[in-house]
Amino acid sequence: MIRVAFDTSSTRGRKTGIGVYTASLLDALGKFCPEIKTIELDDNANVEQRTDYRILREQRVLPRLAEATRANLLHLTGFAAPLRSRVPVVLTVMDLIGILFAKSFPPASRFYWSKYLPFTFRAARHIITLSEHTKRDVVRLTGIHPHKISVIPAGLDPCYSLIRDVPTLDAARARLLLPERYFLFVSTLEPRKGIDTLLSAYEHIAPHMPEHLVIVGKRGWNYQTLYARARAIGLDRIQFLDYVPDKDMAFVYNLATAFVFPSHYEGFGFTPLEAMACGVPVIASNASSLPEVIGDAGLLIPPNDVTNFAHAMSTLSANIRLRQELRLRGLERASLFTWERSAKATAQVYHQLVSPTETVRP
C-alpha cells in the first residue's frame, strides 16, 4: 500500500477550484484505488491564509507533518512545493496565473504568486497539470523537463447533472430568487475572468433580450470596478450572487439560458464543464485550456471580442434549436470527464514514483 499525505486546507471554507479538485480527488482515490492510503494533514488551516503563514506551512509545517505520518509521498494540490522535504512531493499545478497575470494580484500577494511559487516547482519530484496548455506553460516559463509532468484532467462532481423535474426547478428558482430567464457567469470576480467583456456584450443586447444576467462568485482582486460597471448598466437586470452552496449550484446552472465565460486564462475550466453537465449551452473564449475542455460542444470566441459575444448571446436567446444542439453536445462532452479516470491516472503516477520496497502493507 502506498501512503500519500495531502494538504486539505483548501477544502475548508469557501472552496475554489483547488478545493473542489482536492476534495474530489481524495474521495475518488478512496473509492477506486484501494491500494492508495490517503492521509489528510490537519493543522486547522483553511482556504483563507495570509501569504507569510502560507509560506511557513509549505516550507516547514507540511513536510514535518507528512514525515510524521510515515507517508511515501506528499501531494500538494495547487500551491508551492517545499524546497526541502524528506517525503517526495507530487505537486498539482492548476495554472500559471500568478506569472502571466501578476498585475492582477494585490502587491502583498504578487511576490508569492509570480516569483516564489514557480521557483519552488523544481523541488517537486513530479508535477501534475490538468491540461496540455498548462503543461506547455510550465515547460516554457520554468524550464522543467516535460517528462517530469503528467497531464491528468479533472473529473466532474455527479451533483452537476441535467434536472428534468419542472416543479423542482420552479421551486429552486423561487427559493434562490432567480429571474425567469438569464445568462449565467460563475467564477471569482476579477479582471482576468473577462467580466468586462461580458458586461459590455450584455449592455449591447440587454434592451432587446428577455434574459437578465446572473453573476456568481466570490469577490476577487479589483472587483469594485466590475460592480461600478454593472451599476452603470443597471442593476435591475444584473444580479450578483456572492456565494451559492454546492447543493444549489446545479439548479442555478440548469435554469440558465446559456453559460457565458469570456475568461482570458484558465488552467482547466471547471465551471464550463459543470454547465455542460447540466445541459446548459456554453459560450466561452477560445483561450488557454478552454478549447481542451469544451471541444466542439460550445461556441468559442476570442476573449476580448465584445461584438461576437453579444451576437452569440442574442442568437442563443432566440434559437431554441441551436440551444438544444449545444445541450446534447455538452452532455456528451461532459461525460468524458470522470473522477474515476482521474484518480486511477493519479494513482499510476504514485506507483511510478514509489518502489515496491518502500510501500507498507495495509
Q: 126 and 189 share a domain?
A: no
Within 10 angstroms of residue 258's Cβ, the number of other Cβ atoms is 25
> Domain check: are 128 and 241 in the same one?
no
Do residue 199 and residue 295 come from a single domain?
Answer: yes
The reported pLDDT for the residue numbered 82 is 94
How do residues 130-157 score in pLDDT, each as one tens digit? Answer: 999 999 999 999 999 999 999 999 999 9
| Chain segment 62-105, per-residue pLDDT in tens | 999 999 999 999 999 988 899 999 999 999 999 988 788 777 67
Judge whether 362 lies within some domain: no
Do both 66 and 194 map to the same domain?
no
Low-confidence ranges of the chain (pLDDT < 50): none
Cell of 170: 420552479
Question: Which three cell numbers mark 73?
Answer: 509521498
CATH number of the domain enclosing 73: 3.40.50.2000
Residue-by-residue DSSP string for 126-153: EEEESSHHHHHHHHHHH---GGGEEE--
Residue 350 lies in a domain: yes
Same domain, 260 and 316: yes
Question: Which cell is 210 given?
Answer: 428577455
The two beta strands, 149-151 and 182-186, are unpaired
Q: How much is the pLDDT for 278?
A: 98
pLDDT, position 222: 60
Residue 98 lies in a domain: yes
Residue 88 lies in a domain: yes
Residue 285 belongs to domain spanning: 166-334
Same domain for 113 and 246: no
State the pLDDT at residue 187: 87
Query: Which pLDDT score is estimated for 99?
Result: 81
328 in the same domain as 257: yes
Are 183 and 259 part of one and the same domain?
Answer: yes
Same domain for 129 and 196?
A: no
Taking the C-alpha atoms of residue 37 and residue 170, their distance in angstroms, rounded to an integer, is: 43
Q: Are both 220 and 123 inside the same structural domain?
A: no
Q: What pLDDT is stored for residue 98 in this prediction?
A: 78
Q: Which of 281, 275, 274, 262 is nearest to 202 (CA)?
A: 262
* 201 and 303 together in one domain: yes
Strands 299-301, 282-285: pairing kind: parallel
Number of domains making up the chain? 2
- The candidate with the shortest Cα–Cα distance to 72, out of 152, 151, 6, 127, is 6
Same domain, 228 and 79: no
Residue 243 forms part of a structural domain: yes
Amino acid (one-letter) located at 357: T
